[in-house]
Amino acid sequence: MDFQVLLKKNESLFDYADIRAQTYTTDITKLNNQEVEALNKNEGYSYGIRVLINGSTGFAHSTKLNDAEGVLKQAIKNAKLLKQGVKINTPGEKISDKIIIKPQINPFDIDYKDKIGFLKEVISSLRKEDLIKNATATLIFTKENNEFITINKKISQEFIQTAFVCEATARKLNEIEHARKTLGAFKGYEALKEIDEEFLKSLKDEVITNLNAKHAPVGRMPIVCDQALTGVFFHEAIGHACEADSIINKSSVFINKKDQKIGSELVTLYDDPTMDTWGRYTYDDEGIKAKRVPMFNEGVLSGFLHSLETASIMNEEPTGNGRAQDPSSLPLPRMSNTVLKPGTSTKEEMIKGVKKGIYALGFSGGVVEPVTGQFSFKAERAYLIENGEITTPLKEVTLSGNILQTIKLINAVGNDPRDAKQASYCGKSGQHVNVADISPHIRISEIIVGGRV
Amino acid sequence: MQEILNKILRKGKKYGEVEAVITDSETKDVIIDDNTVKRIVTGNNKVLGIRVTLGKRFGYATTTRINNWENCLLEAYNIAKASNELIIKPELPGKQRYEKLVLDKKLKQTSIDELKDLAEKLINETKQANKEITLPEANVTKYIQTTNLANSNGVTASDTNGMITVAAEAVLGDGTAYEQASVAKGKPNITKLVRVMTDLCIKSQNPQKAETRKTSVILDYFAIAPLIEDIVIPALSADNILSNKSVFKDKIGEGVCSPLLSITDNGLIKGGLCSIPFDAEGVKTQKTELIRKGGVIGFLHDSFTAKKMNTSSTGNCTSLLKRPAIGPTNIITSKGDITKQEMIKETREGVLITSILGIHQANQITGEFSLGTVNAFSIKNGEVAEPLRDCMISGNIFEMLKQIKYIGKEQRQESSVKTSPMCFTNIQVIG
C-alpha cells in the first residue's frame, strides 16, 4: 500500500504521523582460520508508524507486508492510552527527495567464492605470524533503502555499506592476547582495497606487542591519546552529554552550562553527518536535513544535538540528529560524525612535554555515566612515557575520570586529524547506529589510569 | 507455521539436508522518560531462516517475507553450493522428545494497559519513597516469541516463551542507581524494585574519593553477573576451546576455580528467564555441568563442535546462521550459605560494588579487566560505610575465581545468569 495515501486517508485521526520503511539485504561471509563459519544472505522489509495525538506519542511496527492499516490503528490506540505528552513541533514543509549513494563495484554482484578467497588471503597473512594461533575475518555487505513518509514528505535514502572485521588471537605459553580491527565505508567492494598488508600488519603488531606488554602502573598521570582514542573520548565523554534528551532528563553534566566556558579553550567540537564517513546521512530519521551542529566553541558549550521532540521541549531548532536503528525503534538524539577541530601541536611535542605518563592508542570500548560525569575507556595499545620518550609497551590500560574536570585539563591538541575509518556502532537505549570520530592527538594533564600492579 | 515448514522440507529434498525455522516475536514496551510515561510501542517481527547442508558445505538465508520461502530456500542452496568444504561433515539432529515448558498464562495475557499500570506504579512509588528522586529513564517491556522449527532428519519443534522486564534508573543529586526486575512468570515486583533502587540512590549521596589499594571486594549481582556472562561462559563454550580462545582449553578435570564454585547450564528450569525445550538446531536442552567444585567438567556444545570433539551436543546452539554458534540457556552458579549482610560483617574492611560499567571493555579471552563501578561503598568495621566516587576495580576474573572468599545465599536472575554476590580478597581498587 502507498503509505502517503494511507496517511492522507486517515489524516483526521492524528495530529501528526510519520512512517519509516526499510528494505534491506545483508550478505555475511566469515572465516575462522581457513574454515567457513558463516555464509549467508538476509533480506527483509519492516516499517514503523509513529503518531502524535494531543502531544502523546504512539508507535507500532511490523514486518507484515499487508498490515499497514492495522499497524496505524495500533499506533493510534497506543497514543490514546497516554493522557499527557509533549507538543512536538513538526516541520510542515513539502519535501520530495531521493538520495542514492552508488558504489563503484556492487558487492552483491561478486561471487561468494571470491569473497571466501579474499578472506582466505587475509587469514593466511595473519597466520604467517607464528604466535597468532587463531584468526577470523568477516565481510558484511548491506544494502538498504530507507523511506521516510509524512503527509508532506517523501524521502528515500539508498546506500550500500561495506564492513570488514578481522580478529587475531596470539598465544605464548600461558599468555593469550586478542586484537580486532575493522573497516567501514559507504562504498562497495572497492572499499576492500584498503585491506592491504599494512592494515593487517597493524593488527599483528598490536596483538604481538600486547603479548609482550607489561601491566600499566595505576594512579593519576598525564596522557597523550592518539586520534582514535581521542575520538572515543570526545564521543563518549562529551558528545553523549550534549545529546538533548540527557539534558531534559537531567542526566547530563552539561545542564545549565550552555554558553559557559567549561572546557579548555583548545576544544572546538561539532557533529557533522554531511561528511563522507561511517556516520553519514543526508536526512535524519525524522526527515530533517543533516547539517554541521556545534557542541563546543573554544571551550564554550555552544549547542546540543536534537530530535524533533527534544527541540520542541527545549524550544530550539531541530538539528537533524533524530536517529533510529531501524523502523522498529523510535528516533533519539544521536551523534553522527564527531569532529574535534585540530590544534597546532605535533605528536612529538606533546610526548616531549611528559615526564612520566602514558601514550595510549586506539580504543576497545568506552562508557560514560552521564549523571555523575564519570567515564572510562580502554586503549587498544599503550606505552609508558618516561622523560619525554616512549618506552615500555603496556597492556589493559583503562582510563577514567570525570568529564567536567577532564575537559579543562586538555593542554594540547594536535595538528594531525584522522578518521579511523572503523566500522563503529554507538549503542544507546538498545539501539545501535553507525558513528565516526575525526580527531587529532590530544594531551590531558591528568587522568586515572587503571591497570594492575 | 508448521505447514510452511513442511512445504519447505518437501521442496528442499531435491537440494540437500534442510533446516528451517520461523520465529514470530511480539513486543510491548511502555517507556518512561523524565518521570512520565511518554511513549507506548508495540510491534511484531517474523523471520524465516533456512539452512541447506550439502555434504560438507552449508548456506543460510533469511527473509521477513515468509511467503517468499521458495526464493529463500533457493538462495540458501546456491550459497551452500558456492561455499567451501568444512573439515568435517556436519550432521543434522534427529527426531527427539522435548520437555513441555508452558508459557505462564498470566504473563501471556498481560495487556498493554496492565504494563502501563506497572509503569505508573513505578513512578508513583518512587515519588512516595523520596520526592527528590527522579526517573530519567525506565521501561516496562513484555516480549513473547514463538519458535517453530523442523529439519529433513525428522525434527519438528514448537515453543512459545516470554518475559516481562522492568528496568529503571533513578537519580538523586549526583547519585544514580539502576535496578531491574525480570520475570518469566507473573508480574515483576515493583515495590521491591523501588525500595532497592531508592535506597541505593539515597545511600550514594556525597560520595568520597576511593583510596587506591588492594582490598577485599564484594561484587553484588550487577557486578558479578556480567563478568560470568561475558567472560566465564564464553570460555566454557566449545567453539572458543576449538579456536584457542579459551583459558580452559586442555583443562578438563583440572581445578580452575575455588572449590566453592560450581556452574551449570540448565535450559529446563521452570520459570527460568532463558528456559527453552530445544535449541536452534532442535536438539533438546538439558542440565549440563560445566564447573563442579572448582574443576572443569564440561563445555557447552552445538552439534558441530560436539562432532569435532567427539561428544554429544548439549543443546546450546543459538542460531543456524553460523557453524558453530553456541550460547548459554540459564547459567546457575552454586549457592553459598552466607547472606550478603553476613558477608559484609565478615569482610570487615573492603569495598562493596553494586554494578560495574562497560563489561565490553574487559578482555574476554584473558579475563583481564579494569572497569568503572556504580554504587560502590567502602566497608568499614563490618558495615557498609561511605559511598565512593570514580572508583575502578581491576584484576583477572579467572584468577579471582580461584580465590573466592564467600559465595552468598541470595540468588537472582536478570539475564542468563542466576548467581549470588561473591567476595574476593586482595583486589585492586583504584580511586
Q: Which of A30, A248, A330 sits opposite B39 (nearest CB)?
A: A330
Q: List pLDDT tens digits, range A132-163.
A: 999 999 999 999 999 999 999 999 999 999 99
Q: List pLDDT tens digits, range A215-255.
A: 888 889 999 999 999 998 999 889 999 999 999 988 899 99
Q: Which residue has the cell 495475557?
A: B109
Contacts of A330 in chain B (CB under 8 A): 31, 39, 41
d(CA B100, CA A147): 43
A317-338: average pLDDT: 97
CB contact under 8 A, A112 and B82: yes
State the pLDDT at residue B361: 80
Strand extents, DSSP E, A269-355:
269-271, 293-297, 300-301, 322-323, 332-333, 337-340
Alpha-carbon distance A351 to nearest alpha carbon in chain B (angstroms): 25
d(CA B50, CA B48): 7
pTM summary value:
0.93
Which value, to the nearest 10 degrees, does the dihedral of the CA atoms of residues A207, A208, A211, A212 take? -140
C-alpha cell at B204: 550514594
Q: Which residue has the cell 563522507?
A: A276
A82 touches chain B (CB under 8 A): yes
Which value, to the nearest 10 degrees, does the dihedral of the CA atoms of residues B292, B294, B295, B301 take? 60
Contacts of A42 in chain B (CB under 8 A): 61-63
CB contact under 8 A, B47 and A429: no
Contacts of A81 in chain B (CB under 8 A): 40, 112-113, 116
Question: What's the half-sphere exposure (Cβ side, CA atoms, 13 Å) at B266?
Answer: 16
CB contact under 8 A, B136 and A81: no
Would the CA dihedral through B335, B339, B340, B342 be positive or negative? negative
User: Which residues, 6+ apart, have CB-to-CB distance to B215 below 8 Å?
Assistant: B349, B350, B351, B426, B427, B429
State the pLDDT at residue A311: 96
CB contact under 8 A, A169 and B244: yes
- Specify the DSSP element, H or E, that contains A248: helix A244-248
What whole-number percentage of chain A has pLDDT above 90?
Answer: 81
Whether the pLDDT of residue A435 is over 70: the answer is yes
CB contact under 8 A, A450 and B389: no
Q: Which residue has the cell 512512517?
A: A19
Q: Which of the two residues, A297 and A402, has the higher pLDDT score?
A: A297
Q: List pLDDT tens digits, range A163-218.
A: 999 999 999 887 888 889 999 999 999 999 999 999 999 999 999 998 889 988 88
**Which residues 340-399 of chain B have a CB within 8 Å of chain A?**
357-358, 360-361, 363-366, 368-372, 374, 389-390, 392, 394-396
DSSP calls for B100-156 = --PPPHHHHH--HHHHHHHHHHHHHHHHHH-TT-EEEEEEEEEEEEEEEEEETTS-E
A26 touches chain B (CB under 8 A): no
Contacts of B32 in chain A (CB under 8 A): none
Positions in chain B whose pLDDT score sits under 50: none
CB contact under 8 A, A63 and B46: yes
Alpha-carbon distance A344 to nearest alpha carbon in chain B (angstroms): 32
Cα nearest neighbour of A171 on chain B: B244
A421-450: average pLDDT: 93
B250 touches chain A (CB under 8 A): no
Alpha-carbon distance A95 to nearest alpha carbon in chain B (angstroms): 27
B403 touches chain A (CB under 8 A): no
A347-368: average pLDDT: 91
Strand extents, DSSP E, B153-224:
156-172, 175-183, 208-209, 213-220
Interhelix angle A197-211/A112-127, nearest 10 degrees: 40
Q: State chain A's mean pLDDT as an integer.
A: 94
**Among A53, A63, A52, which Cα is nearest to A21's?**
A63
Contacts of B57 in chain A (CB under 8 A): 36
Whether the pLDDT of residue A453 is over 50: the answer is no
Alpha-carbon distance B57 to nearest alpha carbon in chain A (angstroms): 9
d(CA B184, CA B105): 10
User: Which residues, 6+ apart, have CB-to-CB distance to A161 below 8 Å?
Assistant: A141, A142, A143, A144, A184, A185, A186, A187, A434
CB contact under 8 A, A40 and B79: yes
A453 touches chain B (CB under 8 A): yes
Alpha-carbon distance B337 to nearest alpha carbon in chain A (angstroms): 31
d(CA B31, CA A330): 11
Q: Which of A35, A374, A395 sits opposite B390 (nearest CB)?
A: A374
**Which residues 53-112 of chain B have a CB within 8 Å of chain A?**
57-65, 75-76, 79-80, 82-84, 86-87, 112
CB A39 within 8 A of CB A112: yes
Cα nearest neighbour of B44 on chain A: A62
Q: Where are the alpha helices (H) located in A81-177, listed in sequence order?
A: 112-127
Counting beta carbons within 10 angstroms of the beta carbon of residue A55, is it exposed (0 to 12), middle (13 to 18) or buried (19 or more)? Answer: middle
Whether the pLDDT of residue A426 is over 50: the answer is yes
d(CA B137, CA B121): 15
Whether the pLDDT of residue A85 is over 80: the answer is no
DSSP calls for B322-365 = BSS-B--SSEEEPP-SB-HHHHHHHH-SEEEEEEES-GGGS-TT
Q: Which residue has the cell 568495621?
A: B381
C-alpha cell at A288: 530533517
CB B273 within 8 A of CB B165: no
Whether the pLDDT of residue A451 is over 70: the answer is no
Q: Which residue has the cell 583486589?
A: B427
Q: Which of A62, A86, A116 sits opposite B43 (nearest CB)?
A: A62
A380 touches chain B (CB under 8 A): no
**Which of B23, B245, B393 is the mutation pick for testing A, counting most A CBs within 10 A?**
B245
Cα nearest neighbour of A253 on chain B: B174
Q: Which of A45, A86, A176 sits opposite B65 (nearest CB)?
A: A45
d(CA B54, CA B426): 54
Whether the pLDDT of residue A363 is over 90: the answer is no
Alpha-carbon distance B313 to nearest alpha carbon in chain A (angstroms): 18
Q: Which of B33, B365, B396 sits opposite A169 (nearest CB)?
A: B365
Alpha-carbon distance A281 to nearest alpha carbon in chain B (angstroms): 25
Whether the pLDDT of residue A452 is over 60: the answer is no
Question: What's the half-sphere exposure (Cβ side, CA atoms, 13 Å) at B111?
Answer: 6
